[in-house]
């Protein structure tokens, strides 16, 4: 037996370092005001916010970013299973990986919302932070829906390339709408206060209302786009693009040729979008990951009670073993 070899095997492994990348990231952090929100390709490491010193994704140096990225299951999904939900999947991983750093803003969670788009039609909007009840939102659903739907019609519907997706927005204190992010329809995207079945039903209802005009399904999306263009004719909307944020600053009612406001005409096209918020303390949802890290989608399928029951039975068995061992 060679003791020297065993001692060598016990040495701590060499920790990889990336000095050039770290220097570049630190330079970018300083250029963005000293604090950033990190994201890789599609996903942010939200599932590891609990291990940061701030309890959030606010990062001020390369080491904090590395800590969040290395521990995140969300990012493992991006790296290894990005296309699992695609019907025409041809590969598992993206062709390249991108670390995106966004300037950090202290946002009010109650003013973040998610819109759901199917076939280029907005079929639902809901509160994005579903783990809390915000009384200030109750009773403002129509007002908030008008602002978000108007923003979508002008800045997203014909600008974004997809047909089925979700988008997240933030409403500032002076009620400007800012676009935060896009996510795919279904798959790993959370429907939050909806279920995907409900959103599909909403889409069918919108199609039914629009088909009342005698349109075929094949021509429906083209007709919706045509109507939106007509509604917007003669209106100039100020749009600002800054640091991947689209901002709409003109939200005052504008009248069309028939005297109706643009918002009223939009509603004539697609009727009112279903808008949901948490309406009482008793209706808050569990966090994105609860207990042992079970995704909220699994919780919504009614399996959480079974998990709790199994955990309780396991703990009871372990306690029984301890009592038996102590008595022996």
Examine the domain organization and report whether 129 and 93 are in the same domain.
Answer: no
Q: Are residues 49 and 113 in the same domain?
A: no
Residue at a domain's end among 103, 136, 158:
103
| Same structural domain, 91 and 148 | no
**Higher pLDDT, residue 303 or 7:** 7
Domain coverage including residue 44: 13-103
Could you read off the pLDDT of 237-264 as tens digits, one per residue? 332 222 334 444 343 434 343 444 444 4
Quote the CA–CA distance of 112 and 16 in Å, as a whole number.
Answer: 38
- Mean pLDDT in residue range 197-206: 91
Mean pLDDT of 289-297: 42
**Residues 144, 264: one domain?**
yes
pLDDT tier for residue 8 given thresholds of 50, 70 and 90: low
For the cut 80, the answer to whether the pLDDT of residue 51 exceeds it is: yes
Average pLDDT on 114-142 reads 93
User: Is 80 exceeded by the pLDDT of residue 44?
Assistant: yes
Q: Residue 283: what pLDDT?
A: 59
Q: Is residue 94 part of a domain?
A: yes
Q: Specify the pLDDT at position 206.
A: 83
In a domain, 237, yes or no: yes
Q: Looking at the structure, tell me whether residues 133 and 181 fall in a common domain.
A: yes
Among 168-177, 243-252, 263-272, 294-303, the range of highest mean pLDDT: 168-177
β pairing state of 99-103 and 36-40: antiparallel
As a whole number, mean pLDDT of residues 173-186 equals 91
Looking at residue 24, what is its pLDDT? Answer: 95
User: Is 293's pLDDT higher than 50?
Assistant: no
Out of 78, 103, 128, a domain closes at: 103
How far is 114 from 199, CA to CA, in rounded Å?
A: 13
Question: What confidence score (pLDDT) does residue 54 get?
Answer: 83
Please report the pLDDT score of residue 102 as a whole number: 92
Residues 259 and 162 in one domain: yes
Span 119-142, average pLDDT: 92
Comparing 46-50, 271-275, 281-285, the range with the smallest average pLDDT is: 281-285
Lowest-confidence range among 35-44, 69-78, 217-226, 244-253?
244-253
Do both 171 and 40 map to the same domain? no
More confident site: 315 or 78: 78
Average pLDDT, the chain: 75
Joined together, the tokens standing for residue 33 give 């005001």
- Checking if the pLDDT of 191 tops 80, the result is yes
- Evaluate whether residue 294 is within a structural domain: no
Is 134 contained in some domain? yes
**Number of domain units in the chain:** 2
315 lies in a domain?
no
- 120 and 81 share one domain: no
Q: What pLDDT, on a 0 to 100 scale, did the predictor assign at position 222? A: 54
**pLDDT exceeding 70 applies to what percent of the chain?**
64
pLDDT at 287 over 70: no
> Looking at the whole model, is its pTM more than 0.75?
no
The answer to whether residue 223 is domain-embedded is yes
- One domain, residues 143 and 113: yes
Are 62 and 172 contained in the same domain? Answer: no
Short-list 154, 132, 177, 281, CA closest to 225: 154
Is 291 domain-assigned? no
Final residue in a domain of this structure, among 103, 120, 152: 103
Q: Do 74 and 139 share a domain, yes or no? A: no
Q: Are residues 77 and 175 in the same domain?
A: no
pLDDT of residue 89: 74
Q: What percent of the chain has pLDDT over 90?
A: 38
Q: What is the pLDDT of residue 322?
A: 67
Residue 232 pLDDT: 46
Is residue 185 domain-resident?
Answer: yes
Give me the pLDDT at residue 254, please: 40
């Amino acid at each position: 037996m060679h003791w020297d070899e065993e001692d060598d095997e016990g040495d701590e492994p060499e920790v990889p370092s990336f000095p050039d990348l770290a220097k570049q990231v630190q330079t970018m952090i300083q250029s963005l005001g000293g604090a950033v929100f990190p994201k890789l390709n599609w996903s942010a490491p939200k599932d590891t916010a609990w291990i940061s010193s701030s309890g959030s994704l606010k990062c001020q140096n390369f080491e904090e970013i590395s800590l969040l990225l290395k521990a995140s299951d969300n990012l493992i999904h991006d790296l290894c299973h990005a296309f699992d939900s695609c019907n025409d999947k041809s590969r598992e991983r993206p062709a390249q990986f991108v670390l995106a750093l966004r300037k950090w803003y202290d946002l009010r969670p109650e003013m973040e919302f998610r819109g759901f788009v199917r076939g280029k039609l907005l079929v639902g909007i809901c509160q994005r932070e579903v783990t809390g009840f915000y009384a200030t939102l109750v009773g403002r659903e129509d007002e908030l829906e008008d602002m978000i739907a108007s923003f979508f019609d002008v800045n997203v519907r014909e600008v974004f390339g997809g047909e089925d997706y979700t988008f997240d927005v933030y409403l500032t204190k002076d009620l400007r709408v800012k676009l935060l992010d896009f996510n795919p329809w279904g798959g790993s995207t959370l429907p939050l206060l909806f279920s995907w079945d409900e959103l599909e039903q909403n889409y069918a209802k919108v199609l039914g209302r629009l088909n009342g005009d005698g349109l075929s399904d094949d021509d429906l999306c083209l007709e919706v786009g045509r109507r939106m263009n007509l509604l917007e004719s003669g209106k100039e909307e100020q749009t600002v693009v800054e640091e991947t944020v689209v901002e709409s600053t003109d939200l005052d009612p504008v009248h069309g040729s028939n005297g109706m406001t643009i918002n009223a005409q939009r509603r004539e096209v697609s009727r009112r979008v279903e808008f949901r918020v948490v309406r009482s303390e008793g209706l808050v949802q569990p966090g994105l990951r609860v207990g042992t890290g079970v995704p909220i989608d699994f919780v919504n399928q009614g399996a959480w009670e079974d998990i709790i029951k199994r955990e309780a039975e396991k703990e009871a068995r372990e306690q029984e073993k301890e009592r038996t061992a102590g008595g022996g």
